[in-house]
Amino acid sequence: MRQPEGDAPHRPRLPSGWRRFALRLPILLFRAGLGPLFGGRFLLLHHVGRVTGADRHVVLEVVARDPAGGSWTVASGFGPTADWYRNLRRRPQTVVQVGNRHYAVDARFLAPEEGAEIMARYAARHPRTARRLCAFMGLTVDGTTASFREAGRAIPFVRIHAAEQHLR
C-alpha cells in the first residue's frame, strides 16, 4: 500500500563509499565486454548530464521487455529525482547496451496506471525482489497484487524503445 495520505514515499538516500562502488561495478563489467553475464535482466543506459553535458552511465534492471517490439521497461528506485531519470527527461533519445549490443533508443515516461500493471506483473515473477524494491522506496506492500499495483503507481517507470537495428 501507499503511505498514509499526505505523506510522500520515502526517497532513499544516494549510496556513498563502498556501496556506491558496488552499485557502479556493473558499469565496469559492461565496459569490459561482460554485458552478456547479465543476460537481458540489466541494461547499461548512456545519458547526458542535463547541467554538465557530460556522458553518464547507469546500469538498470529491466522490469519488463518486449523482444518483438524492441523495448525495455526500467524503474527509478531513487524516484523521479534520480539523475539518470532527470537527464533522460531532458534528452529522451540516447543509447542503451543490452549484452554487448548497443541500440539507439527513445524513452517514454509511463503514467501511474501503466506503472501499476507493470509492478503487479513484476511482483508475480520476482516477489522477493519486488518487496525489497518497495521497502527500499518506503512503500508498504502486503504481498497482494493490489498492494503491488498501488506501489507501482508511486514508482517512476520508463519504457525505452529501440530503433529497428542495433548500432554494433
What are the structural domains of the chain?
17-166 (2.30.110.10)
H helices within the chain, ranges in order?
Answer: 17-31, 83-90, 112-125, 127-136, 145-154
Q: What would the DSSP string read from start to end of 58-72?
A: EEEEEEEEETTTTEE
| Interhelix angle 127-136/112-125, nearest 10 degrees | 130
Cβ distance 59 to 76 under 8 Å? no
* Predicted local distance difference test score (pLDDT) of residue 9: 53
> Cell digits for 71?
523495448
- Go through 8-20 and write b for each residue having 16 or more CB atoms within 10 A of its CB, e for each that does not: ebeeeeeeeeeee
**Interacting residues of 38 by C-beta distance below 8 A, sequence separation 6+:** 26, 29, 30, 59, 99
* Predicted local distance difference test score (pLDDT) of residue 14: 65
pTM score, whole prediction: 0.84
> Cell digits for 136?
527500499
Instruction: Please give the distance of CA 74 from its chain centroid, rounded to a whole number.
Output: 3
Low-confidence ranges of the chain (pLDDT < 50): 1-8
